[in-house]
Structure 1
């Protein structure tokens, strides 16, 4: 297959084993947008108590600033593949940046919680397209032979988001105001927009596919309703609540209907036929299990540090930073190895390291030394660097040029859905375990209401913190088991260096 002119220009020398200047410039542009999108998922976490105070709203209400953003991401991601084919990746990427920055500015002007939630939805509509578009642009620029290192570059924002978000949010709120967690996107967004205009090569899209309106009416609302139901589990503390079951059930029905529709239509909104590709299929199942376990488990430690140890959001963010440092050490190494020997062995090594490291958290105590937590987090981060982006690489590198946009969209849907499921699952298990501990909840509440300490004997307060730590540790058992189970689909990932895929080879590769 001969790449279109813009791809040839970006690649310079697709047979080269090194990432040339053109690819690195493109990477710099798309990483800026991806960092903004992913940071905004986590940076608002720190601001939720502030929103409660500023807008005089309950936690359940202000949590919609997170849920609304997530649902907007889920709604727009399925459209990305078609829109990239129809309008071109450069124009769509710039439009997504404008939507995201406009939404950020509006968020900073909100005067009540309803306005803030509405503007967060607008922000999510732009943010949802940034990550799959970044993957598509970088894949086209570098070609399959350098996919491992390209995904390592894109792994930077995925690592910085969960680590840097709480730190950045804490700094801005402590030293400026909550408005700045949104205003900070303005200068970054302007730089990203100007850079995209100057650096990204013009597309020459030649759309031959009609828009799948029926698919959109089934897939986007189906995914959003399902995630809405799942996201309501922690608040309702049961999966049997009507607010959980009804939207989740309707969402599942719509998604099942979409599956039947997608397999019968020539150009569906989400190309499920890509699952015939064995590499993408194995990578999707691996990513599904991994994201449920890892993203769900990743929420537990910051909560443990704040609720059991009494640390501030900023200090909690700093204490989990070693995880990001460990990942930054191994991501470039993993990227190079994936290009040389394939992702299979790398991912299995990473998962084994994460399983061993995360097992430590099953034995948390109320006085576990911070230095031990930091060492283990560094080890877990190293495993993450060998797992997440190599799995993404395994999914994308065997696709043809035309399939990349749809493939990256598909993987981002899997990632987004799994992350929401993991968050809800771990939150529900932790909440249930804390309810069963007599003194845990009063002990946690004492950090926020010091008067409680006057009514609880010191020995019972200490017992309460120990019970709470035990609840966190037992919740980690589920995360560890899920990570260990991820080794099964990871066993089927490719264990050889990928070969360039030509469009003519697609029917064989796809298993037709």
Structure 2
């Protein structure tokens, strides 16, 4: 189900981002929201796994339609000195949703059933549709855009193969999927198609799907690279944290969610203030500070992590990490999109979100493989150390039991090794204690080691952030007066939008 949503969300985004340029941002945003809401209702009413997967795919398509329009709408509707504040409000809402979503989802599943996760989406979607119809002006571009059919096909096929290969590589043990075709070959084919896509975008003299000249904007290029690294780190960090908190420390999913909630809460609360600040200072220093703060927070967690630490002692590191997120999420959006020419904003928004999503996919897969490898090695090392407390004659049986447990657990939360069947009755209790301690220590060590590459990615991404400029030296194309008005700042501006005033797209 996750793959269906992810594929239908990430793959078409380069194309769906251009639909707003042609048909109007408001129309495409509302269409995506309506599709997402209807698909959520279909998910809740699904009677079979097949219909649920299909509905999740439709959900992803709805998200792909509406997501790229958000940055473009904000960039169109707010002038430079107010754009950061608007981005901050968006970031704050997203941060708070990160906290309330999992917690509310857990409560709903435990009390009312899993269907209510989707029923809540329906209620929120209907309310958002009503508010959007009232508040979002019907801005439409001043000219129509052509569709680059070869570019759409090449990009969609390339992204599909890469996302499918990376997302499902672990399931197929990075080997054969269908006949002699392997996961690596599928990813390589996707990469080749994307290379062909880039070549086509370069030679296409009409209107390419991705105008490569947008990368000539230094802020956009640096911001896109930074957001890719950010997606990699933010997605990758949660897997070792979940394994550590639930398997090593023994927290329940709800307890783990409550422990990490302050991290997302701080990020959400800080976002509006940082967005406001980014309108007044050189925002690249906010981005660099945020990336360093995230790295520092993860470093504190890695240094403190042990199998016996009281969970609350991890809160300072989590708070520092959340504070770093609050500093980086909004300014990187503002810088990357703020200096893009109006006629390129639709394409730029699609590139920006696709880059972050691809970074998230790569982070999830890379960290997942690394964590699995480190769990196997760390638990084996800890098992050898624990076996020394047993008589020499029983050590091979103990290690064999640990090996079997490692093969079946794969680091899954809540799993502990059971060696009672491999040891004599008088050693069974001691063996079980030693096995549980070895697993907890091994999972802790694996989680600590897996956080280190994420810290390195965050620190390296500060180099990309440092390449950003406070303002793009190339002047932006002037926009119509009503195109730059916040919604709804005054009645006349809102009415101007609704009566069909158009601007450059």
TM-score over 0.5 for the alignment? yes
1:306 maps to 2:246: yes
Query: Aligned equivalents of 1:205 and 1:491: distance in 2?
Result: 33
Answer yes or no: is the 8 Å Cα contact 1:453–1:461 preserved in 2. no
Q: Give the number of the structure with larger relative contact order, counting CA–CA contacts within 8 Å between residues 6 or more apart.
A: 2
CA distance 1:262–1:119, shift in 2 (3 Å) = same
Answer yes or no: is the 8 Å Cα contact 1:446–1:453 preserved in 2. no
1:81 maps to 2:13: no
Selected match of 2:119 from 183, 186, 193: 183
Match in the other structure for 2:367: 426
Match in the other structure for 1:171: 107
Query: Aligned equivalents of 1:283 and 1:411: distance in 2?
Result: 8
Selected match of 2:73 from 137, 148, 166: 137
Match in the other structure for 1:123: 59
Match in the other structure for 2:492: none
Match in the other structure for 1:485: 460
Match in the other structure for 2:332: 391
SS in structure 1 at match of 2:171: helix
**1:247-290, CA deviations, whole angstroms, 9 ceiling, x for partnerless residues?**
21121111111101112223112223210101101111111222
1:285 maps to 2:260: no
Give TM-score, length-normalised by structure 1: 0.81
Residue 198 of structure 1, CA deviation: 1.7
Answer yes or no: is the 8 Å Cα contact 1:160–1:324 preserved in 2. yes
Selected match of 1:245 from 184, 187, 193: 184
**1:77-107, CA deviations, whole angstroms, 9 ceiling, x for partnerless residues?**
1122321011101111111011101111111
Match in the other structure for 2:350: 409
Query: Aligned equivalents of 2:75 and 2:285: distance in 1?
Result: 22
Q: Which runs of 5+ in 2 are unaligned?
A: 384-401, 422-430, 480-505
Match in the other structure for 2:161: 225
Answer yes or no: is the 8 Å Cα contact 2:417–2:432 preserved in 1. no
Answer yes or no: is the 8 Å Cα contact 1:275–1:281 preserved in 2. yes
Give TM-score, length-normalised by structure 2: 0.82
Answer yes or no: is the 8 Å Cα contact 1:225–1:247 preserved in 2. yes
Match in the other structure for 1:471: 446
Match in the other structure for 2:283: 343
1:322 maps to 2:262: yes
Higher-Rg structure is: 2
Match in the other structure for 2:388: none
Match in the other structure for 1:254: 193
CA distance 1:157–1:233, shift in 2 (3 Å) = farther
SS in structure 2 at match of 1:340: coil
Match in the other structure for 1:35: none
Q: Which runs of 5+ in 1 are unaligned?
A: 1-64, 505-512
Query: Aligned equivalents of 2:412 and 2:139: distance in 1?
Result: 58
Query: Aligned equivalents of 1:183 and 1:129: distance in 2?
Result: 21
Residue 213 of structure 1, CA deviation: 0.8
Residue 407 of structure 1, CA deviation: 1.5
Query: Aligned equivalents of 2:49 and 2:3: distance in 1?
Result: 13
Residue 230 of structure 1, CA deviation: 1.0
Selected match of 1:378 from 299, 316, 319: 319
Moved more, 445-454 or 322-331: 445-454
Paired residues in the alignment total 440
